[in-house]
Amino acid sequence: MTLDDKKRVLREMVLHRRFEERCYQAYIERKIGGFLHLYPGQEACCNGVMEAARPSHDYVITGYRDHIHAIKCGADPKAVMAELYGKATGCSKGRGGSMHIFDVAHRFMGGYALVGGPFPLAAGMAKAIQMKGGDEIAICFLGDAANNQGVFHETLNMSKLWNLPVLFVCENNLYGIGTALDRSTAVHDQYKRVCAYGIESAQCDGQDIDIVYEHAKTAIDYVRSGKGPYFLELMTYRYRGHSMSDSRAYRSREEEEHWKLRDPINILRDRLIAAGELTLEDFQQMERDTDTFIEQDIIAFAEASPEPDVSELEHFVLA
């Protein structure tokens, strides 16, 4: 990544952080319903991987913590927020909600709410790519806990057996809902679990975007060159609870503070300041501009958008 890239990505990551924090507020205000899984703390994962990938060309699929992956692929943040508000202008026309953000035009193939469900769907997209002979790859972002599902193992086996162009990105945030990783799997290093299937894998820091980018680049070059699947484990942390009704009783405040010392936005910000590319004042202005954009463009759009027409309740069931 060039310095210009890094400055752009810092701005994007600030938007991703503030967007999610604004969602939290909107949820408290009951503007957003249902479940809401937020991304703060993990921004370097999605950004680092997608900077190394080709957004809107490669096919991306993920679980229910999906707002930022959609936006990074090219989804309009206004349409994502409108979807969270359940509005007709939402990217899924108010039918999906937080866990089912879709933007197929940008090849963001959706958020899915069954843990591990996207694994075989990603491999299937890779099968389609392989059949059609394109140079796209399929990228599947999921959390560590998804690796305890049966389809994880079934999918890895078939992906390697058929040499499919799929990158599995494991955002290891150490908890499956409220159960710690070491209380749910005997092998703690997730990248080691895929060795059983003969799949190339690596583990790296998920908080430093430069490190994520370098590892993702290696992984993506490998997959795109036709060598088969790859599994990349990123060590990260979610600041908020799994969803909204989460007391975080399963982890200590000390642990949370420890991880915040390695905040992905601060790491990139400080690096750019040290390189003389940015001042703290520039960064603070960036945050203010972002908040203004979120209020005046994104929230205003979601608020002003119409509700879906009840007469169209049964649209989109069958073709």
Partner 1 sequence: MAEIMYWEALQRAHDEEMARDPLVICMGEDIGVAGGTYKATKGLYEKYGDKRVIDTPISEGGYTGLGIGASFLGIRPVIEIMSVNFAWLAMDQMFNSAAKVRYMSGGQLTAPCVFRAAGGAAHQLGAQHSARMEKVFMGIAGLRVVTPSNPKQAYGLLKAAIRSDDPVFINEHELMYNMKGDVPDSEYLHPLEGSEIARAGSDVTLFGYNISVHWCLQAAEILHSQHNISAEVVDLYALSPLDREGIRKSVSKTHRAVIAEEDEAPVGVGAEVIAIINEECFFELDAAPVRVHSALVPQPYNHTLEKAAIPDHTDVVRAVLKLFGKA
Nearest C-alpha neighbor of 140 from the set 71, 37, 53: 53
Rounded least distance, CB 312 to partner 1, Å:
10
Based on CB atoms, which residue is closest to partner 1, 18 or 193? 193
Give Dmax (Cα) for the chain: 57
Q: How remote is the C-alpha of 291 from its chain's centroid? A: 21
Binding residues for partner 1, per CB under 8 A? 59, 61, 90-96, 100, 102-105, 109-110, 112-114, 117, 119-132, 138, 150-151, 154-155, 157-158, 161-162, 315-319
Based on CB atoms, which residue is closest to partner 1, 121 or 216? 121
Rounded least distance, CB 123 to partner 1, Å:
5
Rounded least distance, CB 276 to partner 1, Å:
44
CA torsion angle 172 173 175 180 (round to 10): 80
d(CA 297, CA 79) in angstroms, rounded, equals 11
d(CA 271, CA 5) in angstroms, rounded, equals 13
Based on CB atoms, which residue is closest to partner 1, 89 or 172? 89
Q: How remote is the C-alpha of 195 from its chain's centroid? A: 24
Rounded least distance, CB 148 to partner 1, Å:
14
Q: How remote is the C-alpha of 24 from its chain's centroid? A: 17
3-class DSSP assignment, residue 148: helix
Which tokens belong to 166? 């799929």
Based on CB atoms, which residue is closest to partner 1, 100 or 224? 100
d(CA 267, CA 148) in angstroms, rounded, equals 31
Rounded least distance, CB 274 to partner 1, Å:
43
Rounded least distance, CB 262 to partner 1, Å:
35
**Measured CA distances, 76 to 69, 102, 282, 294 (Å):** 12, 11, 25, 12
Based on CB atoms, which residue is closest to partner 1, 27 or 119? 119
Based on CB atoms, which residue is closest to partner 1, 74 or 124? 124
d(CA 10, CA 188) in angstroms, rounded, equals 31
Based on CB atoms, which residue is closest to partner 1, 257 or 314? 314
Rounded least distance, CB 244 to partner 1, Å:
20
